[in-house]
Every structure is written in C-alpha cells, then in structure tokens.
A and B are shown apart, each in its own frame.
Chain A
Amino acid sequence: MEFLGYVRPDGSVGIRNHVLVIPGGLIAEKVCAFVPGTKTIAMARSGGGMTSRDRETIARTFFGLGLNSNVAGVILHSGSPGSGYPELRTERLASEIARSGKPLATLDVDAEGGTLEAITKGVKLARKMVYEASRLRREPVSIGRLSLGIKCGASDPTSGMVGNPVVGYVLDRVVEAGGTAMFGETTELIGAEHIVAKRAVNDRVAEEILQAVGFIEERALATGEDIRTMNPVPENIAAGLSTLEEKSLGAIYKAGRHPIQGVLRYAQRPAAPGLYLVDSWMGPNSIFPGFAASGAQLTLFQYGGGATKRTVLDPSPAVAAPLLWTSANPATYARAKESLDFYSGTVIEGTETLEEAGERLLSLIAEIASGTLTRGETIRYTEPIEAYGIDPLF
C-alpha cells in the first residue's frame, strides 16, 4: 500500500508541509500570526529552574519537532528564557536540526536589535520558507515510511474488546511494511507488564519495561493512595472498567503483536524502525507532541468515550503531526460523529470483522497521509502542550 508524501533531503517522508518557528513565545507567535503555513509551540515550561534531565527532555522536544518529516523548514530564535542553559542553546538545537539537511534559519534576537526587529526578520524568513515549501511536490511511497504514535483514552469496555485490537492490527501492518509504531502511558501497563515484557526483543528490553513500570508503581504506592482513586479515572469506572489491571490488559491490545524493539524516553528518536514503548504519562497534551518529536508523522487517539458527553474532539496537540480519532463505541459515534475520523464499532455490531475494520483504517491512514484532512485539522485552535517532566521545579 502507498501514500503520497514529501520526500525530505534526509530521505524521510512528510505527510504535511509545515514551517516551524521554535521555541514558542511572543516572537514565534507573532511571526506565525503574520505568515500562513507556519506553526509554533504553546508550552509554559522553557527549561528554567528544571533539572538537567528535564531540560534535556525539553531540548529533545524542540529539536525532535524540528526534525519531524512533516516540517519543511525551521526558524530557530534565541528569545526563549531557557536558551541560556547548555542543553537549550540555540546553536545546540540548530546543530541537531541541521542533520536533516532541511532549510533552517536561526534568528539571534540581540543581533537583530530586539524583539520587534526579530519579529520583522522572522516574518521575512518565514514568508520565504513557506513559499519554497509550496514548490515541493508529493510522490508515491510505501506505508512502511510511516511512523505512528498511539494512545487510548476515556477507555471503556469497547476499547479492550474492539477499539484497541483494530489499532493493533494497523500497527502490525505498518511495522511489517518496514514502518515504526510507538505506544506509551506507563501507568496503564500495571497489571499487564508481564505480558508486555514477554514481547520484548531481548532480555535487556524486557528488564527496561519492567523497570519503567516498577518505577511508576512505586511512585503511586508512595502517595499512600489507592491507585483505583486516580487511574482508572471516574469515567472509566462509570463506563464499566472495574480495575487498573483490567484497563491495562485491554490497553495493550493497541500495540499489536510485534516484538518491542526498545523503551524510549520521552521525545527520544528511535534508531531503527519497529515497535517501541515510550516511557510516558497518559496526558494527550504531553504524549502526542512527544510522539511527534520521536518522529511520528501521524498520531492516533483510540477513544472509548462511553461515559463522556463530548461532541467536539480536540485538534492535534502534536504540533507537527495531525491526530486521528477512532472509536468502537456506538454511543460515542452517534454523539461525536463529525469529530471522529474512524468508527470501528461495526465489529461490535457484527457488520465487519476485526480484520476488515483494520484494513479500512489502514486505507484511511494512507489517505490522510496523502493529504486528506483529519477532522481536527478543520478546527483552528492551538493546543497547549507539556513535555514530560519527571523532577520537581526549583
């Protein structure tokens, strides 16, 4: 199966064609307000007062988004408060992004003479970059050039029964074709980690999986609270999920059947294609941009929604990558039809087999990769994002 994508100088393939202005902040926002075809990041944390490992996570998030193959060109400015730290210096971020060979301009705010001057220069750079990006053309490539990042959320019993297995089927097909797939949400492996660890490609990776889950369970125990009062969340319980173990065992179906090649840190880019676990928190405004920084061109939200009343679903927090919403719950479909990209409840209703639904979703993914919009891309809204910080703030 093929799609039409933008082949970048480093051989990676983009499904969109953005110009990225990073880091976020006033300068980036004003440049983006002036020039269509640009995107920036809305994130409160800039690295200030954070530990070195959390600053490095933010750095990976910034240059990972710049490296994402959906990004045709990058404008990197020095105006972020965090750019005084070694991990977050403009030159460091630029050297990482420069590896891709894509158009890259750095904007030195002081050298330009100040904020307003930097905005003016940024607008000139961005206009040129989006014009040049518009001259690029898509070409046919295999779906094996895709990297997908998936999350399940508002889980209800349809998630484990049908919704997640359909996504798992799609991941299997993409990985078989030579592609990459990532899943995360470490808390929601508790109760199922022995199953996931058995899928590790070797003992070292199995041990890393168990350690990641052990670390988060220990943190939960140290709070002195019953995790059932935190996760599963109230809407999971209202919809019929009874324990964290039940939720986790249903959640892992979204990862398909392939061996897990490794455990990635948040926003870490895998060294080779395949299936990966990203040690991460379940919040969508965190996990999706993390996947995009890890290279995902497309993110997926497998949505239960059994006990929620939402009729409009959020646009993508992944900044560089669109978000595809899928659900197997008939009530969710009836309520939020215009926001769902895919409905797999046909398998519950008995009008489709799991494999048929999986093939249909894979075809939709190829269409979206070729330029068809996700429903979220028809909404203008900037999602605030949050890189996954582990340590306290100082």
Chain B
Amino acid sequence: MRHKRGLVLNPRDNVANVLEEIRPGETVELRLDTEILSIKATEQIPFGFKMAIADIAVDAPVIKYGEPIGRASQPIERGALVHVHNLAGARGRGDLRTKGEEKL
C-alpha cells in the first residue's frame, strides 16, 4: 500500500510539509534527503500545510528550513497540523509595540 508523502526540508526542522491531503490516523512518509521518517497524523492536514514531526511546547521555536519561523502559541503534538492557530510569527509586530499604550 502506498503511503502518503511529505518533505522535511532541513535536519533541524520540527515540522514537515505534506505533499497531499492527509486524513487523521494516516501514516505519512516524510523524506529528508535520502532518509524516510514515518509519522502518524493526528488530524487532517491539507495539501502543502505543515505537520509537526516532534512535540513542540508552548513558546518553543517552530523550525523550518533550519530556522525559526515563529513560536508555538499552543502545545503541539507530534503528527498535528501546524498553522496560524498554534504558531505565532515574531517579526513586524507593530501591534505589540503599541500594546499597553493608549491607541488613538
């Protein structure tokens, strides 16, 4: 039986991109260069979206391309969907700069 596929872009990454629509409970074969990691998805993951390949604690960095792309805003389980509901970007946050000050 052919497994669904995904890609890990860098050995330091804790997320992978799936290359097809993933249903909960499906095992995804993630390719990192020549290595294959098999991970079971705990929820639905649309084509091209990210799946966690390790548990990620709240405020821990989410790493893709070997670099931080933001921090977990919720605890993230291995196999879970990672997107704006549990991942927060850190740059260009003009909203945080004005936090605590009176908005005009």
Cβ of A210 under 8 Å from chain B: no
Contact, CB under 8 Å: A157 / B48: yes
Contact, CB under 8 Å: A161 / B17: yes
Q: How far is the CA of A225 from the CA of B97 in the complex (A)?
A: 9
Contact, CB under 8 Å: A249 / B48: no
Known A-B contacts A157-B17, A157-B49, A240-B48; A245 and B95 likewise in contact (beta carbons under 8 Å): no
Q: Which of A54-62, A127-135, A190-198, A382-390 contacts B (4 or more CB under 8 A)?
A: A190-198
Q: Which of A7-15, A80-88, A215-223, A292-300 contacts B (4 or more CB under 8 A)?
A: A215-223
Q: Which 4 A-B pairs have the closest CB atoms?
A: A227-B92, A243-B89, A157-B48, A226-B95
Min CB distance A276 to B, Å, is 23
Contact, CB under 8 Å: A237 / B84: yes
Cβ of A250 under 8 Å from chain B: yes
Min CB distance A356 to B, Å, is 17
9 additional A-B pairs beyond A217-B91, A224-B98, A240-B46, beta carbons within 8 Å, are: A158-B48, A160-B65, A221-B92, A224-B103, A227-B91, A240-B47, A240-B83, A242-B70, A242-B83
Cβ of A348 under 8 Å from chain B: yes
Cβ of A244 under 8 Å from chain B: yes
Cβ of A239 under 8 Å from chain B: yes
- Choice from B7, B67, B84 contacting A242 with Cβ under 8 Å: B84
User: Which of B69, B92, B97 lies at the interface centre, i.e. has the most chain A CB atoms within 10 A of its CB?
Assistant: B92
Q: How far is the CA of A240 from the CA of B46 in the complex (A)?
A: 8
Residues in B lying within 8 Å of A, measured CB to CB: 5, 7, 9, 17, 19, 46-50, 64-65, 67-70, 82-84, 87-98, 103
Q: How far is the CA of A246 from the CA of B88 in the complex (A)?
A: 11
Contact, CB under 8 Å: A222 / B83: no
User: Which of A157, A192, A239 lies at the interface centre, i.e. has the most chain B CB atoms within 10 A of its CB?
Assistant: A157
- Choice from B47, B48, B69 contacting A243 with Cβ under 8 Å: B69
Show 23 residue pairs from A and B whose CB-CB distance is below 8 angstroms, ordered by the A residue.
A161-B7, A190-B92, A191-B91, A221-B93, A224-B97, A224-B103, A225-B94, A226-B95, A227-B91, A228-B93, A237-B84, A240-B46, A240-B50, A242-B50, A242-B70, A242-B84, A242-B89, A243-B70, A244-B92, A245-B67, A245-B90, A249-B67, A329-B48
> Residues of B contacting A160 with CB < 8 Å?
9, 65
Min CB distance A215 to B, Å, is 13
Quick one: closest A residue to B64, CB to CB?
A246
Cβ of A156 under 8 Å from chain B: yes
Quick one: closest B residue to A216, CB to CB?
B92
Interface size class of A (residues with CB under 8 A): 35 or more
What are the interface flags for A237-279 relative to B under an 8 Å C-beta threshold, 1 for contact and 0 otherwise?
1011011111001100000000000000000000000000000
Min CB distance A254 to B, Å, is 13
Contact, CB under 8 Å: B92 / A240: no
Contact, CB under 8 Å: B83 / A225: no
Quick one: closest B residue to A231, CB to CB?
B92
> Residues of A contacting B19 with CB < 8 Å?
348
Q: How far is the CA of A352 from the CA of B65 in the complex (A)?
A: 22
Contact, CB under 8 Å: A195 / B84: no
Contact, CB under 8 Å: A228 / B48: no
Contact, CB under 8 Å: B83 / A217: no
Cβ of A306 under 8 Å from chain B: yes
> Residues of A contacting B46 with CB < 8 Å?
240
Q: How far is the CA of A160 from the CA of B9 in the complex (A)?
A: 10
Q: How far is the CA of A240 from the CA of B64 in the complex (A)?
A: 13
Quick one: closest B residue to A248, CB to CB?
B91
> Residues of A contacting B89 with CB < 8 Å?
191, 227-228, 242-246
Contact, CB under 8 Å: A217 / B97: no
Q: How far is the CA of A222 from the CA of B97 in the complex (A)?
A: 9
Contact, CB under 8 Å: B70 / A226: no
Q: How far is the CA of A226 from the CA of B48 in the complex (A)?
A: 25
Known A-B contacts A157-B17, A195-B67, A240-B46; A227 and B93 likewise in contact (beta carbons under 8 Å): yes
Quick one: closest A residue to B85, CB to CB?
A242
Contact, CB under 8 Å: B97 / A245: no
Q: How far is the CA of A221 from the CA of B101 in the complex (A)?
A: 14
> Residues of A contacting B47 with CB < 8 Å?
240, 306, 331
Contact, CB under 8 Å: B92 / A220: yes
- Choice from B48, B69, B90, B94 contacting A221 with Cβ under 8 Å: B94
Q: How far is the CA of A227 from the CA of B92 in the complex (A)?
A: 5
> Residues of B contacting A217 with CB < 8 Å?
91-92
